[in-house]
Structure 1
Amino acid sequence: MSYLGIDLGTSEVKLVLTDDDSRVIATSSARLRVDNPHPLWSEQAPQAWWNATLDAIAALRAEAPQAFQALRGIGISGQMHGATLLDRNRNVLRPAILWNDMRAHAECVELEALVPDAPAITGNRAMPGFTAPKLLWLSKYEPAVYRAIDKVLLPKDYLGWKLTGEFVSEMSDAAGTLWLDVARRDWSDRMLAATGLDRSHMPSLVEGSDVAGQLREELRREWGINGPVVVAGGAGDNAASAVGIGVIQAGDAFLSLGSSGVLFAATARHAPNPQQGVHAFCHCLPGQWHQMSVILSAAASLHWLSGVTARPVAELVAGAERLTATQQAQAPLFLPYLNGERTPHNDATAKGVLFGMTPAHETAHLAYAVMEGVAFAMADGYAALQAAGTTLESAAFVGGGSRSAFWGELCATALGMPLRRHAGAEVGAALGAARLGRLARTGEDVASVCVPPEVLEWYRPDAARQAQLQRRLAQYRRLYRSLADEFIAFSQS
């Protein structure tokens, strides 16, 4: 038997086909485009997700036809928070509004005014990237679309519907909508009513390792699969990465540098800290929760610099690595708030800043500043988790940024915590999704399936650089506080 993991990211769809022991047989991917029709807007066409998934499946079938024929379980992970809207005829009403879309910042204030104890229900402050504020925005500015809404789906659940014909979500992704009572693991009627919705607009809920449906018969025949295939509830991208890397019990953690940056800590109970922008969500596994600190522009900040300097990312990283400690201390400071910020500031108006530029600065200094600024933002996130009572001994290092040992050592030093890189870290979410598909099919014990992959390398705090980084981190924090009011004024100008 084989199992398929589908990871619907922001920039691409990644697929992993695994065997009975979760060993990777084959992988494929297909690129996606993000549209930004207005400042602060970020959208994608749901049909593009499905087309990319079909393309990636075709490539996977060509690479491993016999293994694909033996497919028995599918799990889906995906970018969280996206508002995907269908009418009664199952037509998509408009492009999906994505997780990094900041247009609904005023509606966050309105939502918390409508339900003053919303953070106690959802475990989280209202943030414009979450799903519920997007619906309040639509009710004001696209009322015809809003009135036509019959179903609201998250991105991965749209793919699940295309695969099974069923409207189903699961706890980890649903927790990021602000419609879930996170402690009770059920939709909140009060939060739904605040946005003019009720349970009929929502998919049903299962645990991520449970069966959400069966692969549609016409797809099974078209793809040449020789038996029935279950589709699991799946997971939000970070919860799926946790399953793929073995972060399944309280005290386990990972730090991810993808487009966004995440510090994810598994917890045995619901442990919110909404005042500092900590996300307290359900895990995708029964009876488990997790905390996350989130920054919106991690590796995306380095890709931004690559675009404006016309230098490849690898060249930028190599240049930063060559700087001496003295040169690093003289580099500008970078606030990586290109898309606003979540943890700990919850500030949609925050902007990216390069501070302290002189004629002596070269591209390598800018590259170092960006990588350091992202590490500092992750250190701010860890401080917020610590304020919520979470102290970590170490964390796995995953995401595209985990390809850089230099960045790993920089983050470890800034956070004061060892990081470890595992085999297959770059496909963690897709691997986790495949494991969820396997659990849904076999009913095996979670701990026996969700084992950590082999540790390839450790990155430990560099005592020689820690004092310098702490001084610069203090400057970094003062810089945000000095500019916070200016960010608001700039956004209103």
Structure 2
Amino acid sequence: MTQSLLVAVDVGTGSARAGVLTAQGSLISRAERPIVMNRTDANHAEHDSEQIWLAVCTAVREAVAGAGADPANVVGLSFDATCSLVVRDADGQPVTVSTNGEDCWDTIVWLDHRALAEADECTSTGHPVLAYAGGVMSPEMEAPKLMWLKRHMPKSWSRAGRMFDLADFLSWKATGSLARSQSTLTCKWTYLAHAENGWQHDFLATIGLEDLIDKAALPQKASPVGTDLGPLTATAAEELGLTTTCRVGAGLIDAHAGALGVLGAFAHDIKTIDHHLALAAGTSSCVMALSAEDRPTSGVWGPYFGAVLPGVWLNEGGQSATGALLDHIIRWHSAGGEPGPQMHYDIAQRIIELRLREGRALADRLHVLPDFHGNRSPLGNPFALGVISGLTLDSDFDSLCRLYWRAAVSIALGVRHILETLNTRGYAIDTLHVTGGHTKNAVLMELYADATGCTVVESSAKDATLLGMAMVAATAAGLYPSLDAACVAMQQGGRERAPDAAARPQFDKDYRIFLEMLRQRQIIDAMV
């Protein structure tokens, strides 16, 4: 009997990954290709969407070849991607979003912060949509980016005829469908999926985007995650190395795909799903909690209806720079250099040696606030700045290791700050499911347990994000009757790590200092 296979595609900040998986959720083969980024300013970052599509196609072909699979056996495909904004004209051709005017740079990257002022304007409206965005509009969402584009690049705005979140752009390239995912529209475009009329036209008019629906060719209704958007077009099938019998499912934002991969196993028990928190951690970190009812939480994005699982509410917190912060610390320190995997490993090994000698008192007068790129949650302050207290004149490798250790502690304490905020809103989080690049960092994985007091679960899936997208692809292909059923059938379990009770007093003290530093920063900011 021929085995049905699935292709899952995950597009992150720096690369596109493709995996071939079985209908039971086992990853057979994976391939990765880099994507490029253009930086014309510290707050500006752009992608070339055609280069992303080429990277996706190359990765898919390599993954299928690596699996030794017959393309005819691939029955389902789905895409996740960062919440980056792709701008095209009415004919589907690229439109520049870059101040250099080159049309190839048609995508504003999720981490781009050019629209800080516009985000503040959105917040100042006090519109009810903000209750479903954590009360504060982030410059990482699409509305302020679109405002900026219309104001500062009116020629590009006048040329625009289609605008997509990156995951929806990839689905369009694959199928020709202009449908948009409930994940992307609800989380980034101020679409209210729980409301009878999802688009809030009065809000769009208030922020000067009354023409957005037509300009972006947006649908009146979002497509639930896993919806069958149709088969691959002949062109896309040829470029991807697949066939036109392959169905494409409505995808997700990349972090949400990771959440689906690790929390989907609890889809059958929504009443207790609020004990579990998904942490998708790489360059930045997203913290996602699911619940049976909406739980508005200041400084935490959402609640979003049906953004990950049908009928379930999502609250999403995050840290804008985590892996990026540790990379920055390495580059910044005189004993550092290029922050490759070997450098991170060497630092982690030296931290282990230093802790064997100094115990939990290692660098205990050195403290960090990790908000070097703003505080996404729970403060919702994109203008927040990082703080380091306790520096000396030391500049050797050990001093780098101590600073790296304390920066890692601050990242874990930031997660604790978010989950404790969520717990005030009805959650009872005691288990943290981690996926992404941080699972390769032994220092961070230990801290996520000990500094938060949570049991940490690392998925047994070789790639939980690709697993989540395979669940979507399987649903679109009709292998399972619903996304819930696909999640339960394909989940892979995980390895648990309990927090060290002996470490609790040290991290409780660190957390009190962390909160005091936040208070002191607020006082200083008010003075200036």
TM-score exceeds 0.5: yes
Alignment partners' CA distance in 1, 2:237 and 2:62: 16
Alignment partners' CA distance in 2, 1:257 and 1:93: 31
Q: 1:280 aligns with which of 303, 316, 322?
A: 303
Q: Deviations over 1:387-406 (max 9, x none)?
A: 22211131212111112343
Count of aligned positions: 487
Match of 2:331 in 1: 307
Match of 2:251 in 1: 234
Alignment partners' CA distance in 1, 2:465 and 2:360: 38
Match of 2:517 in 1: 479
Runs of 4+ with deviation above 6 angstroms:
none
Q: Deviations over 1:30-55 (max 9, x none)?
A: 11233321122222221221121122
8 Å Cα contact 1:302/1:367 also seen in 2: yes
Alignment partners' CA distance in 2, 1:293 and 1:223: 34
> 1:221: how far off?
4.5
Alignment partners' CA distance in 2, 1:170 and 1:67: 29
Match of 1:268 in 2: 292
SS of equivalent residue, structure 2 residue 42 = coil
Query: 1:470 aligned to 2:482?
Result: no
Q: 1:224 to 1:108 in 2, by over 3 A?
A: closer
Alignment partners' CA distance in 2, 1:63 and 1:53: 15
Correspondence 1:374-453 to 2 at 5 A: 374-424=411-461, 427-442=463-478, 443-451=480-488, 453=491
> 1:487: how far off?
5.7
8 Å Cα contact 2:371/2:385 also seen in 1: yes
Alignment partners' CA distance in 2, 1:364 and 1:152: 44
SS of equivalent residue, structure 1 residue 276 = coil
Q: 2:225 aligns with which of 170, 191, 208?
A: 208
**TM, length-normalised to structure 1:** 0.92
8 Å Cα contact 2:132/2:303 also seen in 1: no
Letter in 2 for 1:45: D
Q: 1:261 to 1:228 in 2, by over 3 A?
A: same
Alignment partners' CA distance in 2, 1:35 and 1:383: 37
Q: Structure 1 regions of 5+ residues with no counterpart?
A: none
8 Å Cα contact 1:242/1:429 also seen in 2: yes
Letter in 1 for 2:299: Q
Match of 2:387 in 1: 353
Alignment partners' CA distance in 2, 1:405 and 1:171: 35
Alignment partners' CA distance in 1, 2:240 and 2:194: 40
Moved more, 444-453 or 48-57: 444-453
Q: 1:31 to 1:222 in 2, by over 3 A?
A: closer
Q: 1:33 aligns with which of 36, 58, 80?
A: 36
Match of 2:204 in 1: 192
8 Å Cα contact 2:132/2:302 also seen in 1: no
Alignment partners' CA distance in 1, 2:217 and 2:379: 30
Alignment partners' CA distance in 1, 2:526 and 2:9: 39
Alignment partners' CA distance in 2, 1:203 and 1:214: 21
Correspondence 1:34-113 to 2 at 5 A: 34-80=37-83, 82-94=84-96, 95-113=106-124
SS of equivalent residue, structure 1 residue 42 = strand
Match of 2:354 in 1: 323
Moved more, 278-287 or 463-472: 278-287
8 Å Cα contact 2:232/2:244 also seen in 1: no
Alignment partners' CA distance in 1, 2:126 and 2:361: 51
Q: Deviations over 1:15-39 (max 9, x none)?
A: 1111222211211111123332112
8 Å Cα contact 2:408/2:443 also seen in 1: no
Letter in 1 for 2:303: A
8 Å Cα contact 1:189/1:199 also seen in 2: no
Q: 1:332 to 1:293 in 2, by over 3 A?
A: same
> 1:455: how far off?
4.4
Alignment partners' CA distance in 1, 2:379 and 2:418: 10
Moved more, 171-180 or 441-450: 441-450
Correspondence 1:96-135 to 2 at 5 A: 96-114=107-125, 116-120=127-131, 124-135=135-146
> 1:115: how far off?
5.5
> 1:482: how far off?
1.9
Moved more, 299-308 or 409-418: 299-308
Alignment partners' CA distance in 2, 1:488 and 1:79: 34
> 1:295: how far off?
0.6
Q: Structure 2 regions of 5+ residues with no counterpart?
A: 97-105
Q: 1:174 aligns with which of 171, 177, 185?
A: 185
SS of equivalent residue, structure 2 residue 187 = coil
Alignment partners' CA distance in 2, 1:188 and 1:213: 28
Letter in 2 for 1:11: G
Alignment partners' CA distance in 2, 1:276 and 1:189: 24
Letter in 1 for 2:412: A
Moved more, 297-306 or 443-452: 443-452
**TM, length-normalised to structure 2:** 0.86
Alignment partners' CA distance in 2, 1:446 and 1:88: 33
Query: 1:141 aligned to 2:152?
Result: yes
Q: 1:121 to 1:366 in 2, by over 3 A?
A: closer
SS of equivalent residue, structure 1 residue 101 = coil
Moved more, 152-161 or 384-393: 384-393
Q: Deviations over 1:273-315 (max 9, x none)?
A: 1x23344223233212211211111122122223331161111
Alignment partners' CA distance in 2, 1:331 and 1:44: 41
8 Å Cα contact 1:70/1:227 also seen in 2: no
8 Å Cα contact 2:75/2:247 also seen in 1: yes
Moved more, 348-357 or 290-299: 348-357
Q: 1:221 to 1:142 in 2, by over 3 A?
A: closer
